[in-house]
A and B are shown apart, each in its own frame.
Chain A
């Protein structure tokens, strides 16, 4: 299985900050990567697909980049509703998730 190493596992940030999360694949996955947001006790929500495409209805402060084995997810101008856990998902073979990054209030 393809391993997805996500970092950091948690971070503290303030409203208005820029937050960056990384995901590293154990082998080349091209751009076959998605990003999700999960609130406590809720199902995940799709934010980014194909590494960099913003899902319909998702605010433009969320963005994704990368290809191959290195990927980055960024939240610009962090909002109160963005404090959540974020996961990356590869779907090259067949599908595995990163361990998650919990974004907490500083």
Chain B
């Protein structure tokens, strides 16, 4: 079955960076985009960007353009999201999610379990 398993919770100081992994299985890793999203406590969802695992091309939301880096490792079918210059308002649950098909419909059919990143001094 399709699985996306994310790394564990993180606690970071303001100004630090965090790198979260998302290990995928059960489907052709290099065929489908993987998206990253986040959800602050009690809030709605925020799209951060995506990566295509075949060639590594990325598309970031303008808000995160200068702070986020998405990469992949095809040997382990894993994608990574690194967010730098962390602030307290970056405290959120971070999700990876698989693009549903090979079209440009940003429908996300499988999700990781989410990773809580807490930014606090």
A residues near B, CB below 8 A?
1, 32, 34, 36, 43-46, 49-50, 55, 87, 89, 91, 94-100
Stretch at the interface among B7-15, B42-50, B70-78, B80-88: B42-50
Q: Name B46's closest neighbour in chain A (CB-CB).
A: A97
- Asked if A34 contacts B59 (CB within 8 A), the reply is no
Instruction: Chain B residues near A94: list those with CB within 8 A.
Output: 47, 59, 61, 106
- Contact A97–B107 (Cβ < 8 Å): no
Q: Decide: A46 and B114 in contact? CB cutoff 8 A.
A: no
Looking across the interface, which residue of chain B has its beta carbon closest to that of A95? B47
- Whether the pair B44, A97 counts as a contact (CB closer than 8 A) is yes
Q: Report Cα–Cα, A98/B112, bound state, in Å.
A: 21
Interface of A is mostly: loop
Cross-chain contact A87 with B44 (CB below 8 angstroms) = yes
Q: Is B95 an interface residue (CB 8 A)?
A: yes
One of B35, B59, B104, B114 near A43 (C-beta < 8 A) = B114
Given A1-B62, A94-B59, 15 other A-B residues pairs in contact with their CB atoms under 8 A: A32-B106, A34-B106, A36-B45, A43-B97, A44-B108, A44-B111, A46-B100, A50-B107, A55-B107, A91-B107, A94-B61, A95-B61, A96-B47, A97-B46, A97-B47
Q: Find B45's partner among A1, A45, A91, A97 (CB 8 Å cutoff).
A: A97
Size category of the binding interface on chain B: 20 to 34
B111 neighbours in A (Cβ, 8 Å) = 43-45
From B35, B46, B107, B113, name the one whose CB has the most chain A CB atoms within 10 angstroms. Answer: B107
Q: List 28 A-B contacts (CB under 8 A).
A: A1-B62, A32-B105, A34-B105, A34-B107, A36-B45, A36-B108, A44-B95, A44-B108, A45-B111, A46-B108, A46-B109, A49-B100, A49-B107, A50-B105, A55-B109, A87-B44, A87-B45, A89-B45, A89-B47, A91-B105, A94-B59, A94-B106, A95-B35, A95-B47, A95-B61, A96-B46, A97-B47, A100-B44
